[in-house]
Amino acid sequence: MMTTATNTREVEASPLPEDENLLRIGQVMTRMRLMTGRRMIGRLAIQNVAPGLELSHLDVIDAVRRAEEAGEVTVGTIADILRIDPSRASRIVAEMVTRGVLRRKASQADARRIVVVLTALGQRLLAEIQAQKFSVIESIIADWSTEDVEAFSLLFDRFVGGYERVFQARIKETDG
């Protein structure tokens, strides 16, 4: 139902689950989202390797890294992964080429097509992001037992994998 004064939908609140574990997981997910939303690891990597880059540049670097596993990376591939308009992806890639983080080259499969690859600076930045991330993780689990680390890594992977599957299924429902 639309209200005329505020032009927002009134939504009835869902009841909270009674299961304490579900409540805890939901609350922890919110805390983690707030912490990762501040992108501290990315900010540290930029500061250490490439001052002047923006966080959106790190998103592109990560998209290139992930897409390279499946083959050549185009601006369209980057746009799809980041769910942004191809023209925005093209502008960001152009900035990163100018800054020496990415370079364009002809596709090995079809010389008429242009692909994007990381330069040495881009690879250094990616390595710094990973080093910062592992440093943070190592400091968090430093006093955990080997068994706890193993169990958490497996359960966390299983949880996030399930989250991705549910999210993708719901996206397909709304797109389709």
Tell me: the pLDDT tens digits for 37-47? Answer: 778 777 877 78
Consecutive H or E run containing 140: helix 120-141
User: How much is the pLDDT for 6?
Assistant: 52
Domain ranges of the chain: 38-143
Higher pLDDT, 85 or 46: 85
CATH of segment(s) 38-143: 1.10.10.10
Higher pLDDT, 44 or 98: 98
User: How much is the pLDDT for 2?
Assistant: 47
What the block records as the tokens of 48 is 């250490």
- Helix, strand and coil percent figures for the chain, each rounded to 5: 65, 5, 30
**pLDDT surpassing 70 at residue 137:** yes
User: How much is the pLDDT for 4?
Assistant: 47
